[in-house]
Structure formats: structure tokens, C-alpha cells
Amino acid sequence: MIISGYFHPPHSSEKYRAEILRLSEQRIQLEYDLGHQAYSDSDMCSSRCRANEHCRTVWRVDDLTLSPPLGRLPAKLDFPDGSQFIADESAQLQQAFRNPRGAWLHKLERHFPLIGVSFVALFLCGVLFFRYGMPWLTAGVVQVLPPQVAEIVGEQVLDTLDHHLLESSQLPLAQQAEIKLRFVKMVAQLPPLPVEPQLHFRRWQAGPNALALSDGSVIVFDSLVVLAQTPAQLDSILLHELGHIEHQHVMKSVVHSALLSASIAVVTGESTGLIDTFTGVGVFLASQGYSRDAEREADDYAAEYMLTLYGSTRPMIEMFALLAENIAASHHATKQDGELSDDGAPTWLSTHPALSERIERLQQRNELF
């Protein structure tokens, strides 16, 4: 079989019409007109060529490398000295050198239905990874992190909040001491937590709230204490924050966001310019859903121990109702279920489930108990 094509000398952009003849299973002959350039092949070739002559060289097949075609690019035969032969018909070259694997790959690369199926499968794998694999990986990373990491993160966050957002509590010291004593007694009745919880009081103009940090700090705002009408109502919120500590939601959120950003950077292959913007938006939206799941998990923890300590989730339901009334008054508007969350933002932008949804879940727990 004679295969026609072009010969490219090593380290040169020149090309010459050439032919390859298969002499035997182990030897081929390459013929080409060298023109005005002199060229000497390697010792693996059985002859040498001088300028302005018709050149014939014989090569051992084992010394050659056939590069299969990629997409619409032709197949190439690579010689040990760096020269190349590109056939006019890639199929002839593949047939002569019997590379079924390359032909199979070439067919796959041009099989558009299969390419479409591959894209769908890749998309589904990505969805499954972000939906199930990412939380599993996040939990695993958090478990192996040294405790000092959570402590440092919590201390730094509290220090930053104290410098930029929060003010010293204005509650009477006696009232703070009473709540702290009740908090300690309540924690003593719970299973051991990953870190030792500590209760702090702060003042914040944004409204009644509480939050938990990774080092076990539970921060209660003065306005929440004032809003609560009974100790049990306030304790229900404290139990909710202890639920965040029990499930290590803060550290999981930090690790989850980092892994999500890193995964998107790996998929896109870069992290600059517009990609940074889309990555930030994607991480934000995905983290919001992750946060809502964490809030439900903390609600379930609080509901379980409200039933254990108080025999009912009623105080927690009442506390959520008070919070909903406070939010409605601050926004001077009534929100329709399913359209806006309790912070006035669209539901998909909120970090918390709607209070109406949370109250309904608590009522169901109360009825089952």
C-alpha cells in the first residue's frame, strides 16, 4: 500500500510531498524530494539525504508513533528525530499501521449523539456531586480539622462583630446572670456538644436575633431578651443556636463555600474577571439553600429538646410568632406566604426558611409528641 501525504522535517515549517510504502511488518520506506535543504536523518534510518535529490529512507515500524486524528485534524506519523508525516487520508494511515484504538476514539469524537449524551451525563454527575457529594465531603473535612481552627474562626468573627456591628449589652447584670445560670443548667441536660458553649449578650440595632459561632459562643441580642415573654420562649431560641453548634454549621458553611468556589474554579479552568463574578453569585445562591437546610436542622434539634425539657414546642411556636410580628411591624407590610421570606427578600435569597413554614413544622412535631 502506498500512502500519499506531506513530510515535515524536524524543527521546520517546511513541508514536502511524500509517500510511504509498507515494505514488511517491521519496515516502511519514506520517499520525498528534499529540494534545496540538506537533511540528515537519525541513526534509526537506513540512509541519508543530500540537498536537491529524491530521498528514500527506511524506518523500523517499532520506532514510529502514530498519533490518531483528533476531531477534524489528520492523523500523524511521528519519527524518532522529530519529523512527521501527515497523510492525505487519515484512514489509510490508520489501516496501514493497524491502530483500532485510535480509529475507535476518532469515531467517538465525531459521534454527535454520543457527545450529547456525554454532556447530559456530565451535567447530572455535577448536580449529584453538588447536591450529595459536596455535603458529604464538607462534613468529612470539618471532622478532621483541628479544634483550634474552629476556636480561632469564632474568636476572630466575634472580635470583628464587636468592632464593627455590635455594642455592649444594656441589660441589667442581674438579668444577664439569671439567663446565664439557666443556660448552664439547660446545657447540662443535653448530650455533650462538640465545643463548650458560652453565652454572650450584645446590643444590635438590626432587631431581635441570636447567633452561634464556631467556637461555641452563643450571642443573644438585648432586643431578643426584651421580645421574649417567658423564659421558655427565650430558651427555645438558645436551643436553636445550640443546634447550630451541635451540627457544626458555621464550620461546615465556611468549608462548603471554600470547596464550592474551588470546584467552580477547577471546572472553568480560571478564576479571573467575569468568572470571579459568576463564581461569587453561584456560591452565594448555593450557600443560601445550604443555610436554609442548616436552619431546619437547628429547628429540629431545638424542637426535640423543647419536648424533652418543657414537654411541648408551644413556647418555640410563640417565640417565632413574636418574631414574625416584629418583622412585619418593622417592614410596615404584610408578606404573602410563598412570595417573600420574613426578612423581606425573595425566598430563594433568604438564609432562613419562612417563619410560617417553621411554625407549621413545629406544630406537626408537637402533635406527634
- CATH value at residue 11: 2.30.29
Q: What is the model's pLDDT at position 107?
A: 63
Residue 153 sits in the same domain as residue 105: no
Q: What is the model's pLDDT at position 342?
A: 52
- Please return the burial class of 286, using the count of CB atoms within 10 Å of its CB with bins 0-12, 13-18 and 19+: middle
Residue 240 sits in the same domain as residue 105: no
Residue 201 sits in the same domain as residue 334: yes
Q: Taking 50 as the threshold, does the pLDDT of residue 363 lie above it? A: yes
What are the b/e assignments for 239-254, b being 16+ CB within 10 Å?
A: bbbbbbbbbbbbbbbb
Residue 98 sits in the same domain as residue 189: no
What whole-number distance in Å separates Cα of residue 30 and Cα of residue 22? 9
Q: State percent of the chain over pLDDT 90.
A: 31
Instruction: Yes or no: say if 16 and 6 are a contact pair by the CB < 8 Å rule.
Output: yes
Q: Is residue 86 part of a domain?
A: yes
- Residue 335 pLDDT class (50, 70, 90 cuts): very low
Looking up cell 472553568 gives 268
Q: Is residue 32 part of a domain?
A: yes
Per-residue model confidence as pLDDT tens digits over 30-85: 888 765 443 444 444 444 455 556 788 888 888 888 876 666 778 888 898 889 99
Helix (H) or strand (E) holding 14, with range, is none
Where among 56, 91, 109 does a domain terminate? 109
Q: Taking 60 as the threshold, does the pLDDT of residue 209 lie above it? A: yes
Instruction: Yes or no: say if 153 and 254 are a contact pair by the CB < 8 Å rule.
Output: yes
What whole-number distance in Å separates Cα of residue 262 and Cα of residue 285? 15
- Residue 356 pLDDT class (50, 70, 90 cuts): confident
What whole-number distance in Å separates Cα of residue 253 and Cα of residue 284? 11
Q: Taking 60 as the threshold, does the pLDDT of residue 341 lie above it? A: no
Angle (deg, nearest 10), helices 249-268 and 274-310 = 160
Residue 24 sits in the same domain as residue 155: no
Written as one string, the DSSP assignment of 36-53 is TS-B---TTSS--B-TTS
Q: Taking 90 as the threshold, does the pLDDT of residue 222 lie above it? A: yes
Q: What is the model's pLDDT at position 110?
A: 63
Q: What is the model's pLDDT at position 40?
A: 42
Residue 285 sits in the same domain as residue 163: yes
Q: What is the model's pLDDT at position 36?
A: 43
Q: Taking 90 as the threshold, does the pLDDT of residue 275 lie above it? A: no
- Please return the burial class of 272, using the count of CB atoms within 10 Å of its CB with bins 0-12, 13-18 and 19+: exposed
Instruction: Yes or no: say if 336 and 329 are a contact pair by the CB < 8 Å rule.
Output: no
pTM of the model: 0.62
Residue 149 sits in the same domain as residue 101: no
Mean pLDDT of 223-231: 96
What whole-number distance in Å separates Cα of residue 312 and Cα of residue 369? 8
Q: Is residue 249 part of a domain?
A: yes
Q: Taking 80 as the threshold, does the pLDDT of residue 124 lie above it? A: yes
Residue 245 sits in the same domain as residue 160: yes
Q: Is residue 140 part of a domain?
A: no
Range of the domain at 161: 145-368
What whole-number distance in Å separates Cα of residue 353 and Cα of residue 369? 23
Q: Which three cell numbers stand for residue 68?
A: 490518531
Q: Of the given ranges (208-222, 231-245, 347-361), which has the lowest mean pLDDT?
A: 347-361
Q: Which three cell numbers stand for residue 341?
A: 421570606
Q: Taking 70 as the threshold, does the pLDDT of residue 102 lie above it? A: no
| Residue with more model confidence, 185 or 165 | 185
Mean pLDDT of 229-248: 95
Q: Which three cell numbers stand for residue 71?
A: 476531531
Mean of the per-residue pLDDT values for the chain? 80
How many folded domains does the chain comprise?
2
What whole-number distance in Å separates Cα of residue 219 and Cα of residue 244? 12
Helix, strand, coil in percent for the chain, rounding step 5: 55, 15, 30
Residue 279 sits in the same domain as residue 327: yes
Residue 94 sits in the same domain as residue 212: no
Q: State percent of the chain over pLDDT 70.
A: 77
Q: Taking 90 as the threshold, does the pLDDT of residue 229 lie above it? A: yes
What whole-number distance in Å separates Cα of residue 310 and Cα of residue 192? 19
Residue 270 sits in the same domain as residue 174: yes
How far are the Cα atoms of 3, 10, 11, 16 from residue 84, in angstroms, in the given order?
14, 7, 10, 11
Q: Is residue 306 part of a domain?
A: yes
